């Protein structure tokens, strides 16, 4: 079965899979919800890089 025969898409609703710039501001979460981060920015970056490396190494083994 070809999914193109059953699914309609609208180009104006399609978002890119990768975004060039991601920028967030947690001010509203802090002020409205009382939220505080549980991990530092440096630790978060380390976790993200390590996850990417694990994923890359796993693909290399296949």
62 residues of the chain, pLDDT tens digit each? 898 899 988 888 887 777 778 888 999 999 999 999 999 999 999 999 999 999 988 877 66
Give residue 26's pLDDT.
92
pTM: 0.50
Distance, CA of 21 to CA of 19 (rounded, Å): 6
Q: Are 39 and 46 in contact (CB under 8 A)?
A: no
Distance, CA of 32 to CA of 55 (rounded, Å): 36
Structure tokens at 44: 């978060």
As a residue count, the chain comes to 62
Distance, CA of 14 to CA of 16 (rounded, Å): 7
């Amino acid at each position: 079965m070809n999914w193109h025969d059953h699914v309609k898409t609208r180009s104006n609703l399609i978002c890119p899979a990768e975004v060039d710039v991601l920028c967030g501001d947690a001010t509203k979460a802090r002020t409205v919800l009382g939220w505080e981060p549980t991990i530092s920015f440096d630790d978060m970056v380390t976790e993200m890089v390590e996850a990417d490396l694990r994923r890359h190494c796993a693909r290399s083994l296949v």
